[in-house]
Chains A and B, each alone.
Chain A
Amino acid sequence: MTQFNALMGGLFILTAFGIVGLRQIIGSLRLFVVQSVLLAGSAFIIGLVHGSIHLFVVAGIVLIVKAFFIPWLLYRVLSHELHARREIAQALDVPTSLLLAAGLTIIAYFIVNPLLNVVSDPFIRINLPVGMAGVLLGAYAIAVRREALPQLLGILTMENGAFFAGVSIAPDLPLLAELAAAFDVLVIALVVGLLTRRIQKQVGTTLVGEMARLKEE
């Protein structure tokens, strides 16, 4: 079981790297779906070991909201944008970007190391560093991507990372909080999606990195 979970963790980091470096929007979105399935998988495995029905419910919520509702919603709101054939505009080129992302993964491990010294749970030792890496890689994707949807996927990756750590360190978080958090993620996707559509309509581009009218001259 621990090995299965480690596999989930490894694949999770890979998807986060993909969110940072993939060249096409539709591919990034598919990767996000895979990432959410991995999160649900990890929750399921830990639930199985701890014998906790609670985590099964969490896995179910993640699957419904992140692997189904959010992609569906983005298809509804921004289908044209999703199928754009162009490359995603980036502030750095992809190899440099991936190198920096690798550095961030190592930093994530150092951040959580003092916490890991306190516990010996094998799941936490995998999930916490991986989750923290997901959070940092998501933040990095927001910084380096210059387009609207890839930045949204960065935010969602951060949340996924937080919950990847969360299913191991806080398996008995009140269900109401989990439900509210899932709802919250859905609202983020909806709000940012609608805002992107409006920006596209009013400004004529979704290159949000290029918007720089507001500054001190």
Chain B
Amino acid sequence: MELLVILLLPVFAAGLSIIPTKNWRFAAGATILGTAALFALSLRTAMGLDVSGQEKSLFLNHWLSCDGLSALILLLVSFVGFTASLFSWGYIAQAVSQGRTDRVRRYYRRFNLFLLSMLAVPLLSQVAMVWIAVELTTLLSVFLVGFENTPESLEAAWKYVVLTCMGAALALTGVLILYWGLSISGGGEFTWSWLRTAAPNIPPVFLTTAFLLFLVGFGAKAGLVPLHTWLPDAHSQAPSPVCALLSGVETTTALYVLLRFLPMFSGFPENPVPTWFLVFGLISVGVAAFLLIQVKDYKRLFAFSTIEHMGIILVAAGLGSGAGYLGAMYLITAHALTKSFCFFVAGATLLVTKTREISSVRGLIRLSPLAGSSLMIGGLAIAGAPPFAVFLGEFSIIRAGLAQGQYWVIGALTFFIGIAFCGILYQVNQMVFGKEPNPGTQPALPASCVATLILAAVPVVVLGLFVPEPLQGLLRLAALSLGR
């Protein structure tokens, strides 16, 4: 029942945003309240999970279900949704010219529907419906990417929709082949859990073909090289709160679908999945690290770092074993929290400086102490400096790899992470501490943006120092649902 309510809440909030009120605060307030309730409910669902890691079908058997992995994604989506809606309050009011309440309402309607599609991905258990949900995450966010209506943002929206729809069509072929394989092996419900049970009876060639189509198709959506080209464009042109959702959790929901293939192959003597994960992951990390050095736009900097992190998570999942899976889960969490924080900081920087170019932002710490210090924290955290959450994630992945004797993989991974680390910190350092050309007047940040920055910074800092016991349990459950 809870799961259904979780899906209905954004629909309700979207409905409230349609009501033509004179004051834009109505739609914004409804969205904030809706996402807050959403987060509370998701927290309850995640904490109510069975300790044994058993899948919990709470309502509508075979349609909605929630195991450890789903609960983790659900929790992250709803948390970032909440902080993003809080940030939107101040940001959108400044981005939209006065008196255009219709545009603000349109923004919140799309925001809620986009959130709905992302919540549906982990909760739906029917594979065909999951495909549709992933496709809808694209279609419902296209106009959010193009919200500013500039030629650049429309170009980004176009590349985004064309490349990800192309990927989705490939994945659709994969869905159909998977279903075919299932019906050959005797049929049954077309759900993730039944597929895991039935997998040993399905001819391996069906599973492998379906997996490869998914990897290319949804890999495009997760930003894996070589189909990543849309990602820096879309993630830099969208309004900052939307970027936080796109970069922080939307890519993760696509990755979630790929991770669901791991348990299906667990009984096979020749398992092709880890090799593909390692290859695609390492290529993504490497290409992103080298592209990251030469960016001129600080939102693109964070976007490339998303590609890098997706690659690292994929490598961790490819390393396999309990430690690798746990590292992947930890990095998914750290990435969602830190990257959304980084994009809030980028939004705040944009509000203060009115430019996206790295070279035009200098001495931010003097221009706006809050934005400057947040940018420094965000840069350090996302680059993977200790003692932040991303560092712990990367460290545990490297340790898991070394324990398995994958020295070449880990060597390459560490090298690329090092390059990305230097690239990010060099740019961020210049932006924060560089010599400013003219100390102009400093526009004040809206109160809601300040509140979001502080709220979103808490988990980024705290999770690097210690992980609370309930969260640790959830991460272990999530890793268990991938296999042992």
Using CB atoms and an 8 Å cutoff, list the residues of chain A in contact with chain B: 111-112, 114-115, 118-119, 131-132, 135, 138-139, 142, 148, 151, 154-155, 158-159, 161-163, 165-166, 169-170, 172-174, 176-177, 180-181, 184, 187-188, 191-192, 194-195, 198-199, 202-203, 208, 211-214, 216-217
Contacts and interface: CB of A to CB of B under 8 A. Distances in A.
A171 B172 CA distance: 15
B146 interface: yes
B166 A139 contact: yes
B155 A213 contact: yes
A213 B151 contact: yes
10 contacts: A115-B206, A118-B184, A138-B166, A162-B172, A162-B176, A169-B180, A170-B180, A170-B183, A184-B139, A202-B151
Interface string B148-162: 011110111111011
A135 B177 contact: no
B77 to A, nearest CB: 21
Contact of A162 (B159, B173, B294, B295): B173
Contacts of B180: 169-170
B296 interface: yes
B465 interface: no
Given A114-B209, A181-B132, A214-B155, A187 B169 contact: no
A195 B146 contact: yes
A154 B169 CA distance: 11
B179 interface: yes
A177 B156 CA distance: 30
Given A195-B158, A214-B155, A214-B236, A115 B205 contact: yes
Given A115-B205, A159-B169, A198-B149, A216 B176 contact: no
Contact of B291 (A114, A151, A211, A216): A216
Q: How large is the interface on B (under 10, 10 to 19, 20 to 34, 35 or more residues)?
A: 35 or more
Nearest to A188: B165
Given A155-B162, A211-B158, A212-B155, 15 more contacts: A154-B166, A155-B169, A162-B169, A173-B128, A180-B128, A188-B139, A192-B162, A195-B142, A195-B154, A202-B151, A211-B151, A213-B152, A213-B155, A214-B237, A216-B295
A187 B475 CA distance: 36
A177 B169 contact: no
Contacts of B136: 184, 187
B129 A203 contact: no
Contacts of A195: 142-143, 146, 154, 157-158, 161
B139 to A, nearest CB: 5
Contact of A173 (B155, B179, B236): B179
Contacts of A170: 176, 179-180, 183
Contacts of B419: none
A151 B126 contact: no
Interface string B252-283: 00000000000000000000000000000000
Contacts of B177: 115, 169
